[in-house]
Amino acid sequence: MKITRLNHVQISVPIGSEDEVRRFYCDALGLKEIPKPEPLINRGGLWLEIGDLQIHFGTENIDDRAASKRHVAFEVTNLHQARATLEQNGIKIKDSIPIAGYDRFEIRDPFGNRLEFMQRH
């Protein structure tokens, strides 16, 4: 077996939170919503696209989301601009532990999912 690429990442959000997902991920982060396949529309959630990759938002009720280490890492071309945009939208930034070759920080989305933003040196 050889894995050739990442197809999508799924993030869980509370049932009925699709409009809040759109406000945060589409409006604040600038991601594009794409149509879900017809058989999945009635299951809730939504799908977004970043280049040729997708983030799927599935709805479920789970406690203590903010304690989870699960996350999506977004590589950006201008980390300072990303930080400024997020702060302008009232989003709290947390500096990440330094790692070789990258500058990075993290945030939590309104549902407690961790999002990492990183830029290669």
pLDDT tens-digit readout, 11-45: 888 889 999 999 999 999 999 999 998 888 888 99
* Residue range 76-97, pLDDT digits in tens: 999 999 999 999 999 999 998 8
Tell me, which fold does domain 8-120 have in CATH?
Answer: 2,3-Dihydroxybiphenyl 1,2-Dioxygenase; domain 1 (3.10.180)
Query: Nearest CA to 48 among 96, 115, 104, 120?
Result: 115
pTM: 0.78
What is the band of 6 on the pLDDT scale with cuts at 50, 70, 90? confident
Report the amino acid identity of residue 106.
Answer: E
* Residue range 43-56, pLDDT digits in tens: 899 999 999 899 99
Q: How far is residue 13's CA from residue 22's CA, in Å, rounded to a whole number?
A: 12
Q: How far is residue 121's CA from residue 40's CA, in Å, rounded to a whole number?
A: 40
